[in-house]
Amino acid sequence: MDTLYPDTIADRDGMSAASIAGRELAIVVPTLNERANVPVLVARLHTVLAGVAWEIVFVDDDSRDGTADEVRAIAQRDPQVRVLQRIGRRGLSSACIEGILATSAPIVAVMDADLQHDETLLPRMLAALRGGEIDVAIASRYVAGGGIGQWDGRRARISDFATRLSRLVVKAEIADPMSGFFMLRRPAFNEAVRDLSAQGFKILLDLFASAPRPLRFQEFAYEFRARQFGESKLDAMAVWEYLMLIADKLIGRVVPVRFVLFALIGAFGVLANLIVLRLALGAGAAFSIAETGATIAAMVFNFLLNNQLTYRDRRLRGWRMLRGMAIFCLGCGVGAVANVGVAAEAFGRGSSWWLAGLAGALIGGVWNYAIASTYTWGARRRAA
């Protein structure tokens, strides 16, 4: 294992405390349960970035393995190490954004904590950006000399499909738009930051799709390494988050993707309501009781699905989930009253039954979405 932490900065890389006051480079590393990898990564960066004024900002999504505490322990003896611990929200892209905003360095790199990215590329990428000819330096698995390492056929096919899908929103001829390892100049980030979706885990794709001008870039070949410690975070929900990002870049300027998904889940909730109502009536329940039960079931169904999909980055757990469910159901109850009231008023003014019903459903849906975003899932985010 790498040798860790001599007693002083000068011992490590010949730099004085004064020389790192104005850091040229920041490396932003999002983490979730990566405690074992943290000291190894820091030690490797000290080796490859000797003579560079740099810092590393770990953005930890409240890891249960003590990742943030490990970073703090290292930071006590290494002023080039910092941690930003987020409570109550998750997401690789949003973590990268917050990490970049938390540093004053004019050049920022983003890389994973799992040691699968080749840190020896960093000096070459930095040199290319210093020249001022490019905005972004991208570590690529898909240019000559690069590779995907020990990936199995299934993961390779998923990556290939995701890369092809990215062409819908990124027109630049990037061989590896899905790369999670890149370096950029701060002006390029500042120009795009307010239009970033912060969805999913592909911040580079988001950056190129959101930039107001074509970004100048250069790709650097590297071989993707095998993970040494911890477990991969790539799962079916990561794929879902990627699809959400693509959808947001395609239609987000017209209507929020969260609202579209919220409305679709609401439609499934109507179906759930009808199924429960039919089952309850078949069991001999009175209609009022059956409809009450079906309505509550539909609300719970909608809440659980929205918690897992629509607001995945703000998922509620434990007692907060129960509290959120109560707020959601209460808000939807008010929304139902608004739905009926608007529909009745429109019908009374001569609108056709279907137009009146549609107006009521629209008002109710918008109300429910506003309550959900502001109170059910939004309150916890503010508290964090």
Q: What is the mean pLDDT of residues 169-195?
A: 89
Together in a domain, 16 and 55: yes
pLDDT value at residue 45: 96
On the question of pLDDT at 218 being above 60, the answer is yes
- Domain-located, residue 240: no
203 and 320 part of one domain: no
Residue 363 has a pLDDT of 76
Task: Tell me which residue range forms the domain holding 152.
Answer: 9-232
Per-residue burial over 346-367, b if 16 or more Cβ lie within 10 Å, else e, is bbeeeeeeeebbebbbebbbeb
Residue 379 has pLDDT above 70, yes or no: no
pLDDT digits (tens, 9 = 90+) for 80-111: 999 999 987 777 888 999 999 999 999 999 99
Assigned domain for 247 exists: no
Residue 190 neighbours by CB distance under 10 Å = 11
Q: How far apart are the first and last CA of the chain?
A: 36
- Give the model's pLDDT for residue 250: 75
Residue whose C-alpha is closest to residue 110's, from 89, 136, 147? 136
Reduced to 3 states, what is the DSSP secondary structure of residue 337? helix
Q: Which residue has the higher pLDDT, 59 or 241?
A: 59
Residue 2 domain flag? no
Nearest Cα neighbor of 198 from 27, 104, 347, 313 is: 313
Phi, psi of 219 (to 5 degrees): -105, 140
For the ranges 14-23, 56-65, 102-111, which has the lowest average pLDDT?
14-23
Give the C-alpha distances (Å, rounded to integers) separating 378 from 265, 282, 315, 381.
19, 39, 10, 5
User: DSSP alpha helices (H): ranges in the chain?
Assistant: 9-13, 38-48, 67-75, 92-101, 122-130, 153-166, 186-192, 203-210, 236-251, 257-282, 287-305, 318-348, 353-371, 378-383
Residue in this structure with the two tokens 């693509």, named with its chain if needed: 246
* Backbone phi and psi for residue 79, each to the nearest 5 degrees, phi listed first: -70, -5
pLDDT of residue 251: 73
Side by side, which strands form the sheet with 182-185? 81-85, 54-60, 25-31, 107-110, 182-185, 136-140, 217-221
> Against a cut of 0.75, is the pTM above it?
no
Number of domains in the chain: 2
**In 16-53, which ranges are E strands?**
25-31
Query: Residue 275 to residues 264, 278, 279, 281: CA-CA distances in angstroms?
Result: 17, 5, 6, 10
pLDDT at 216 over 70: yes
Residue 94 forms part of a structural domain = yes
Confirm whether 252 is domain-assigned. Answer: no
Higher pLDDT among residues 90 and 142, named by residue: 142
pLDDT digits (tens, 9 = 90+) for 260-287: 888 888 888 878 877 887 888 788 877 7
| One domain, residues 125 and 204 | yes
Indicate the residue among 217, 232, 247 that finishes a domain. Answer: 232
pLDDT for 339 equals 60
Q: Higher model confidence: residue 316 or residue 75?
A: 75
What pLDDT was estimated at residue 30? 93
85 and 147 assigned to the same domain: yes
Residue 36: HSE in the Cβ half-sphere, 13 Å Cα cutoff? 7
Question: What is the pLDDT at residue 303?
Answer: 92
Confidence tier at 138 by pLDDT (50, 70, 90): very high
What CATH code is carried by the domain that includes residue 43?
Answer: 3.90.550.10
pLDDT, residue 87, reads: 86
In a domain, 245, yes or no: no
More confident position, 384 or 44: 44
Are 216 and 293 in a shared domain?
no
Looking at the fold, whether 218 and 310 belong to one and the same domain comes out as no
Give the pair of three-digit tokens for residue 309: 């999909």
Sorting pLDDT into bands at 50, 70 and 90, what band is 11?
A: very low
Whole-number percent of the chain with pLDDT over 70: 82
Residue 147's beta-bridge partner residues? 223
Which of 165-179, 225-239, 293-307, 337-351 shows the highest mean pLDDT? 293-307
Distance separating alpha carbons of residues 86 and 77, to the nearest angstrom: 23
The pLDDT, as a whole number, for residue 277 is 76
User: In this structure, is residue 223 part of a structural domain?
Assistant: yes
Q: Is the model's pLDDT at 38 over the cut of 60?
A: yes
Per the model's pLDDT, the better-predicted residue between 212 and 314 turns out to be 212
10 Å CB burial of residue 243 (0-12, 13-18, 19+) is middle
Domain assignment present for 248: no
Answer whether residue 343 shows pLDDT above 70.
Answer: no
Same structural domain for residues 298 and 199? no
Same domain, 21 and 151: yes
Which of 198, 232, 266 is the C-terminal boundary of a domain? 232
Helix residue ranges, H only, 181-235: 186-192, 203-210
User: Are 228 and 284 found together in one domain?
Assistant: no
pLDDT for residue 382: 38
Pair (271, 181) in one structural domain: no
Structure token pair of residue 304: 């659980």
User: Do 18 and 55 belong together in one domain?
Assistant: yes
Rounded CA-CA distance 281/260 in Å is 32
Confidence of residue 311 (pLDDT cuts 50, 70, 90): confident
The residue among 86, 132, 137 whose CA lies nearest residue 110 is 137
Same domain for 326 and 228, yes or no, is no
Tokens of 323: 């509290």
Greater confidence (234 vs 35) lies with 35
The more confident residue out of 371 and 102 is 102
